[in-house]
């Protein structure tokens, strides 16, 4: 197991579109274990492979209070979304310290493979629904700040670049 380093916005690699996993093999299971360890260590509730500079369609999520309910989504696809939307204050491990409101469908049905290559379908609402949509966006090269105004995006970019410089 290993804690992987997380790309920080505005790193251009966060905008790459991830490739589907062809076969869920031991190397994918190793990636899932490393991503889970990275997410728990952060700590966070969701992480997409894109954020650790692996451009494959793999997501890990744990929205439980006890942090022992890992959910793995390989090649996730949203097959249905509710018309009703809900606003949630989102954050992101790739944009530390920044939280803002994003509106998304309130419920989604997601189809994916688990770490054994077994297909499953899940209906999600609440925080899990927000998290799944946020993480699938990462696989498509989209970071939540892109839902905010241009003005806010610019301010966030400047703030992140300054923080990066003072950390170096
Ligand atoms: C995505 O985000 C998410 O700024 C997962 O300093 C967020 O785990 C989905 C984190 C909200 C739904 C709602 C953020 C940790 C963690 C920070 C995360 C920070 C430290 C974010
Ligand atoms: Co994120």
| Averaged pLDDT score across all residues of the chain | 98
Residue nearest to atom 2 of ligand 1 (CA): 92
Q: Is 69 a catalytic residue?
A: no
Cβ < 6 A, ligand 1 pocket: 42, 44-46, 88, 90-93, 96-98, 130-131, 134
Q: For residue 138, give both structure tokens.
A: 């990462």
Which ligand is located closest to the Cα atom of residue 133? Answer: 1
For residue 9, the 8-state DSSP code is T
pTM: 0.98
Q: ω before 84 within 30° of 0 (cis)?
A: no
* Residue 168 pLDDT level (bands cut at 50, 70, 90): confident
Given pLDDT bands bounded at 50, 70 and 90, which one contains residue 167?
Answer: confident
Query: Mean pLDDT throughout 137-161?
Result: 98
pLDDT of residue 61: 99
Check residue 1 and give its pLDDT. Answer: 83
Tell me how far the alpha carbon of residue 42 lies from the centroid of ligand 1, in angstroms: 9
Measuring from atom 16 of ligand 1, which residue has the nearest CA? 44
For the segment 87-125, what is each residue's pLDDT rounded down to a tens digit?
999 999 999 999 999 999 999 999 999 999 999 999 999
Q: pLDDT tens for residues 39-87?
A: 999 999 999 999 999 999 999 999 999 999 999 999 999 999 999 999 9
Mean pLDDT of 136-142: 99
Tell me the CA–centroid distance for residue 133 and ligand 2, in Å.
10
**146-159 burial string, b = 16+ CB within 10 Å, else e?**
ebbeeeebeebeee
């Amino acid at each position: 197991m290993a804690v992987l380093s997380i790309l920080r916005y505005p790193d251009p690699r966060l905008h790459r579109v991830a490739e589907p996993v062809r076969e869920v093999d031991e190397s994918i299971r190793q990636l899932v274990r490393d991503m889970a360890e990275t997410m728990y260590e952060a700590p966070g509730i969701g992480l997409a492979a894109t954020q650790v500079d692996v451009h494959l369609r793999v997501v890990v999520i744990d929205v439980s209070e006890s942090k022992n309910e890992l959910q793995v989504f390989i090649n996730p696809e949203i097959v249905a979304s509710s018309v009703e939307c809900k606003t949630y204050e989102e954050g992101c491990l790739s944009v530390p310290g920044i939280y803002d409101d994003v509106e998304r469908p309130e419920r989604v049905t997601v189809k994916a493979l688990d770490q054994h290559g077994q297909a499953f379908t899940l209906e999600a609402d609440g925080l899990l629904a927000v998290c799944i949509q946020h993480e699938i966006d990462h696989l498509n090269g989209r970071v939540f700040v892109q839902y905010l105004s241009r003005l806010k995006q610019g301010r966030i970019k400047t703030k992140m670049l300054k923080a990066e410089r003072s950390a170096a």
